[in-house]
Structure 1
Amino acid sequence: MTNEALETEIERVQLEVWSDVACPWCYVGRRNLAVALQDLDPRERPDVTWRAYQLDPAIPIEGVERDAYFTQRFGDDVKRIEEGQERLTLLGEELGIEFRFDRQHTIANTFRAHRISKAAARHGVQQEVIDALFAAYFEEGIDIGDPDRLREVTLRAVTDPELAAQVLWDAERDETITDEVREDIALSQQLGITGVPAFVADRALLVPGAVPPDALAKFLGEAALRRANLDDLADQHGDGDDDHAHGHMHDHGDGHFHGGH
């Protein structure tokens, strides 16, 4: 991007990604985002925060048997499930994801996994842990709702044993982590987010769904330009007018957004 507003150092875009570890499209969205970030001008790369979302919070904490869950949710429409999984498998191959739905036996309640993710964010290893959780669930069929298996995944993702121990201690014993997960879920409701993944830039721009990397890169470029222009306005008018910095949310995708800031 050649806009003069980006020629000076600006505060980075704050990108929040609402995601659920049990959502295959969120795994696709994670990989698409990684590709998009590689292609961006370094000045346009955002600070990324992953936020918790639960597609089905009613799942028991111990999880449910996969076939029973699908039967309850979709009835006898097995073909619909198989077609969706085939589509995801083909798409995953293009992104280096080996979806192995045949290895999944348990549909997990992801609240504990979100606690791990939040604790990892405190220690600067959230991206590594999220990648490991996605791979464990969708490629290895690991039950990411099981505390023992979660510990195993965390220890693989965080290679420094002392750091891994700190992440696990926070996730398992610090109740403020639980509060943070619940706050993320509540915030998604306030913002009108009804599906994931959802990419939110500066609480002002939204792209819903696992959009391709080029669309994400364009979205992030627009967000960076918007922030640069707002920084210019702040320089001209002072820092007292917060309305310039926090407009209403705009949907840049095919979904719908029903909230403001």
Structure 2
Amino acid sequence: MNNIRIDIVSDVVCPWCIIGYKRLEQALASLSDSVQADIHWHPFELNPAMGPDGQNLREHIQEKYGTNDEASLSARNTLTQLGQEVGFLFEFSDEMRIYNTRKAHQLLLWAQSENKQLALELSLFEAYFTYGQDISDDSVLIECAIQAELDQQVAQHIINDSTWAETVASTEQQWLEAGINAVPAIIINQKHLISGAQTSDRLISAIEQIIQAEG
């Protein structure tokens, strides 16, 4: 059995991040007879300056990338189809908003020490993309924490603790300084970077090549 470390730099409002993870999950399932992965998630805020009320998602995408309504609809349809292929439900709507994710990342950093990070990560992705919930709202975050079997009172403390917010910011800065400026970013054994939501076949090939090269 080959043991590998996988670091995933992502944001919970990034649709390609959940698609990328689900494809990685498929790849690891195919390699389960020979590969065992230890996965760690790391914060990357796509919109760290986003205000408390968020912004209409379509308007935000148009402002940020200069896309029009037709391109936005096409992208949503593509993401919905890709989600279906990996077993994840996207429910986009014209009223959907994008939110600040700092508090979500505070919870995720803490959840790693509780061995509940993946469960919380998936709960957050689902809350946002499937149910259209405001994942900057304390009550939504606490519900996600409960679903991940994390302690409710500790979770409440974490999301209101400025020290955890500072830790998220410093961690993100470290990744920026390491050259990560887009997500998802998958790093194998802390030195092999795979950028973007690659297909499961490409991930399988990359992992096999890395294992072979490292002997």
TM-score (norm 1): 0.74
Structure 1: segments with no counterpart, 5+ residues: 1-5, 230-261
Give the conservation status (yes or no) of the 8 Å contact 1:103–1:140.
no
Task: Tell me the secondary structure at the aligned position of residue 194 of structure 2.
Answer: strand
**Residues 198-237 of structure 1: CA deviation (Å, up to 9, x unaligned):** 111123111101011121122222333344x3xxxxxxxx
Cα deviation, residue 67, structure 1? 4.4
Structure with more contact order per residue of length (Cα contacts < 8 Å, sep ≥ 6): 2
Identity of aligned residues (%): 29
Cα deviation, residue 176, structure 1? 4.3
**Residues 23-60 of structure 1: CA deviation (Å, up to 9, x unaligned):** 00001011111111111145522211001111122211
**Residues 49-80 of structure 1: CA deviation (Å, up to 9, x unaligned):** 00111112221144223344345335571111
Give the conservation status (yes or no) of the 8 Å contact 1:119–1:167.
no
Task: Tell me the secondary structure at the aligned position of residue 155 of structure 1.
Answer: helix
Of 54, 79, 82, 2:70 maps to 79
Of 24, 31, 35, 2:15 maps to 24
Cα deviation, residue 140, structure 1? 0.6
**Residues 115-158 of structure 1: CA deviation (Å, up to 9, x unaligned):** 11111111000000001111111111011111111112221232
Matched, 1:215 2:202: yes
Matched, 1:185 2:172: yes
Equivalent residues in 2 for 1:138-177 (5 A)? 138-158=129-149, 163-165=150-152, 168-169=155-156, 171-177=158-164
TM-score (norm 2): 0.89
Distance in 1 (CA, whole Å) between partners of 2:130 and 2:66 is: 25
Structure 2: segments with no counterpart, 5+ residues: none
Where in structure 1 do 4 or more consecutive aligned residues deviate above 6 Å?
none
Matched, 1:97 2:88: yes
Give the conservation status (yes or no) of the 8 Å contact 1:44–1:224.
no
Rg larger in structure = 1
Report the count of equivalent residues. 215
